[in-house]
Chains A and B, each alone.
Chain A
Amino acid sequence: MSSPVFVVGLGAISAIGNNVAECLTALETEAAGIGEIKNLQTVHRGKLPVAEVKLTNEQLATRSGLPATISRTALLSMLAAKEALDDAAIKDLSSLRTGFISANSVGGMDKSEDFFAEFLVDNTKGKLRNVVNHECGAVTELVADKLGIKNYITTISTACSSSANAIFLAARLIKHNMLDVVVAGGTDALTKFTLNGFNTLMILDQQFCKPFDENRKGLNLGEGAGYVVLVSEKVMASLKKEAYCTLSGYANANDAYHQTASSPDGTGSFLAMTGALEKSGLKPSDIDYINLHGTGTQNNDIAEGTAIKRLFTDRYPKMSSTKSFTGHTLGACGGLEAVFSALAIKHGIIYPNLRLETPMTDLPFVPERKFLQNIPVKNVMSNSFGFGGNCSSLIFSKI
């Protein structure tokens, strides 16, 4: 049960790049992916900025080998999951017990929206092919089938912490010796459903988001997918490549305060971070970098910040919210940020928290504002907190 779990493959697609290398370049050059809505057909175009992946469904389909008529959630997932698996370069995958644990919050909602417009007028109308993959699990299966993974497949949906929980479960299944290799992470495409939902909550910034700024006004929604390939110690020994890092800690807690808002003292966040440290056997002072949940809403950032203040007391690690680049990708963010965390360890880099002008007055620390390199990064904490009070923290460690 205490055997380590290794991260050996990374895959990502987001508004800042169509693969891991492009995302990394954007992070280094401080190039955010937020902008005017181009792909999504919505009345909010020109009013609400979002962080869209810069490819159409047709382009995604060509690259992924899946049909352009299926959900964008699956198309994004396929590209990132395939990249992660290719990066891991595991020979003889078919002889190993392989799992695909993916997370998402919208499933095939982008297509269901198309279906619904016709269906509402006449419930014998609307193309069934647009609603057949509505379920979150259907999106996972489209990708699992294309990747040829069938030993264990499941889907998690705990709002914004979904893909952190997917990675968490993957590690446990490896530790229980139930699986040898797991592709784990998450995906979400922008949909009218989520854009309008967040808009009714009045937590969308009409400008580019400013996480952890005193004058922050909300989040920008994003889309994308991020996956890591986790392997057991035994599989690791058979690989010719170095691992990026280990997944050394993880914890899941519930804020139990409100369906959509975080408690003022960040109870759930505090418990998740504390639990992950305990699991990894590390002290707060061992953490070199926190990839913040940092959505840019008034509520999240003060709750998360307060929890960090309580936990780290006086020695604060470097930290930043990469949502200032990618927007909030909901079910994908834990996966994408796990990829960024692994890269931070491998390359010894810290990402900037863009557009931070006025630090929050109630917090005794300020996230990094510039890209830093040649920094020894041994342990990274990645936070994902969400609706329903679901809070999860992961810790990645240098080998």
Chain B
Amino acid sequence: MKTYIRATGNISPQKSFGHQFLTDVIEHTGDRLTCIEPDYKGIIDVKLIRRMSRIIKMGVAAAMECLQESGVTVPDAITTGTAYGCLEDTGVFLTKMVEHNEELLTPTAFIQSTHNTIGAQIALMLQCHHYNNAFVHRGFSFESALLDGMLLLVEKEANNVLVGGIDEITNISHSILRRMDLYKRQQISNLDLFTTKTKGTLAGEGAAFFLLANESSSNDYATLDALHTFYKPISIKETEQQIVSFLSAQSINVNDIDLIITGRNGDIQNDAVYDQLQRSIFKNNSAGNYKHLCGEYPTSTAFALWVAVNIIKTAVVPVVISKAIKNKPKKILIYNHYQNIHHSLLLVSAC
């Protein structure tokens, strides 16, 4: 199911927009990493900007940057993944509904609260009548969108597909998730995420889009060779088996992997899974991390994919990703688990 990643567009807590690749790493302090947003004028019609909530603007702008780089004006399909959807609009409508006891409500926030809004807004701006789908399955949201896109290419229903992973933090969602004990209690720098060895992670968000194509162009970032997800493994043994059989289905083994990008998020319990794997099947592999740069959120693998394809394209592993430097990696495995429920594997190779 090999596909080519022709272009990317990414708005994240790092300076990623404008195709910058971690040249100037941004430090955040606190328990929340917020996206660095571009000036949307010039990317989105000013009249539309006023109406759009933050996640819609981020999603649409990342998609537009991706399309612009690809040279494709109207993609053959658009698939998006978001676990939480348009939280800000949901919160606005819900708050007014409760405060005004279901009276005097206006439709805008409700209209924009639906989970397919970003994909729909992109289609509307591009006048794109093609296939359009939206996945909303927690830590599998982006992976599902990616799989759908890859299948469309295999089926020859599309020659190119715009795929995105988008999630936002709002004040409301953050205060609720914080009460669930997901984040660190002490104020730390995101760059110290892996040295504190305590409970909790940092909240993150982002909007990353990719143009997948079934044929190579002269200027692709990388190939996305395969994708696999597995749900609630019963033991670390099962996790190991899933990883080994994923690689063998691609006729490779762990020794063929130049760099493994893991989803470590700084929470000691969460990271125990990676610790165990790095003592067993991954013991001879160079490993890198990404969540100290974007925070933890259900569609963070979209950020990880952006990191992986940029490493392959630039042939440099930024020190902030991995100190175990093996330059010019040809094969990168992304392995992430979200709350030990949603596990995903993405295999990326040099073209």
Interface size on A, residues (CB 8 A): 64
B33-41, B107-115, B305-313 - interface stretch: B107-115
* A87 contacts the other chain (CB 8 A): no
Instruction: Give every chain B residue within 8 A of A131 (Cβ-Cβ).
Output: 176
A151 to B134, CA, bound (A): 20
- What B residues does A169 contact at CB under 8 A? 133, 148
List the B side residues contacting A141 at CB < 8 Å: 138, 341
A257 to B129, CA, bound (A): 9
User: How far, in angstroms, from A55 to B238 measured CA to CA in the complex?
Assistant: 41
Q: List B residues 142-157 near A (Cβ within 8 Å).
A: 144, 148, 151, 154-155
Interface size in chain B (residues, C-beta < 8 A): 57
- Fill in one digit per residue for A186-211: 1 if any B CB lies within 8 Å of its CB, else 0: 00000011001101110000000000
List the B residue with the shortest CB-CB distance to A255: B129
Question: Across the interface, do B175 and A137 meet the contact criterion of CB distance under 8 Å?
Answer: no
Interface residues of A in 85-109 (CB under 8 A from B): 105, 107
Given A158-B116, A159-B114, A260-B111, are A42 and B137 neighbors across the interface (CB < 8 Å)? no
Q: Is the CB of B129 within 8 A of A254?
A: yes
Q: Which residues of A contact B103 (CB under 8 A)?
A: 43
Task: Give complex CA distance A156, B179 in Å.
Answer: 28
**A259 with B138: CB separation less than 8 A:** no
Query: Given A137-B138, A154-B135: A388 and B119 within 8 A (CB)?
Result: yes
* A44 cross-chain contacts in B, Cβ below 8 A: 102
Residue of A nearest to B144 (CB): A154
Quick one: which of A42, A137, A253 contacts B131, CB cutoff 8 A? Answer: A253
Q: Are B136 and A43 in contact (CB under 8 A)?
A: no
Contacts of A152 in B (CB 8 A): 229, 231
* Interface pair A155/B136, CB less than 8 Å apart: yes
Contact pick for B114, options A124, A138, A258, A388, CB 8 Å: A388
Is B45 close to A, CB under 8 A?
A: no
Do A172 and B105 touch (CB < 8 A)?
A: no
Decide if B102 touches A196 in the complex (CB within 8 Å).
yes
Is A374's CB within 8 Å of the partner chain B? no
Given A116-B95, A135-B136, A199-B105, are A254 and B110 also a contact pair (CB < 8 Å)? Answer: no
Complex CA gap A389/B133 in Å reads 11
Which segment, of B16-24, B120-128, B196-204, B255-263, faces chain A?
B120-128
User: Which residues of B are found within 8 Å of A128, using beta-carbon distances?
Assistant: 176, 179-180
Q: Is the CB of A156 within 8 A of B231?
A: no
| Residues on B with beta carbons closer than 8 Å to the beta carbon of A150 | 231-232
Q: How far is the CA of A199 from the CA of B126 in the complex (A)?
A: 30
A252 within 8 A of B: yes
- Interface positions of A (Cβ within 8 A of B): 1, 42-44, 105, 107, 112-113, 116-117, 119-120, 123-124, 128, 131-132, 135-138, 140-141, 144-145, 150-159, 165, 169, 172-173, 176, 192-193, 196-197, 199-201, 252-260, 267-268, 271, 386-390
Q: A155-B144, A390-B120, A390-B134 are in contact. List 14 more A-B contacts (CB 8 A).
A: A116-B98, A120-B98, A128-B179, A137-B140, A150-B231, A156-B135, A156-B136, A158-B116, A172-B151, A196-B105, A252-B133, A257-B124, A387-B120, A388-B134
The 8 nearest A-B residue pairs measured at CB: A388-B120, A197-B110, A137-B137, A157-B115, A137-B138, A200-B107, A155-B137, A136-B136
